[in-house]
Amino acid sequence: MSFDERSPIYHQIAEKIKRDILNGDLGADEQVMSTNQYAAFYRINPATAAKGFHQLLDEGYLYKRRGIGMFVSPDARERLRAQRRERFFSDVVGPMVAEARAVGIPLDEIIQHLEIKNKDGGSRDPRD
């Protein structure tokens, strides 16, 4: 993982772990690397790694077992999926519907287009 300049490193760490949970790379009740292991692996300051992990603790995606380490919360994946679905509808579908209205595309045409894209993996235009 390489870090970029667009957001703080601790935030990028938290987002990477969220992606790993969402993708199933980290499962419920699975132990995550310690902040020191994470810092050593990615060659970052341990305090920066700790800040990312504490963000996930505060958000409830990780929990701590005293003396053992941090683990993925049992409901973390479902909560992340629900959050991302909500964001998808507000950030993608909402603006798409507004643009479709503005240019006069009826809802049934959008649905038809989406159904065709879903069937063929997104390669065909429904108007063909």
Q: What is the pLDDT along the chain (128 residues), one digit of tens a residue?
A: 677 778 899 999 999 999 999 999 999 999 999 999 999 988 999 999 999 999 999 999 999 999 999 999 999 999 999 999 999 999 999 999 999 999 999 989 988 988 998 888 755 554 44
Number of residues written out for the chain? 128
User: Domain 9-74 classified CATH 1.10.10.10?
Assistant: yes
Neighbours of 32 (CB within 10 A): 19
What pTM, to 2 d.p., does this model score? Answer: 0.76
Place of tokens 């419920």: 28
Alpha-carbon span 24 to 36, nearest angstrom: 23
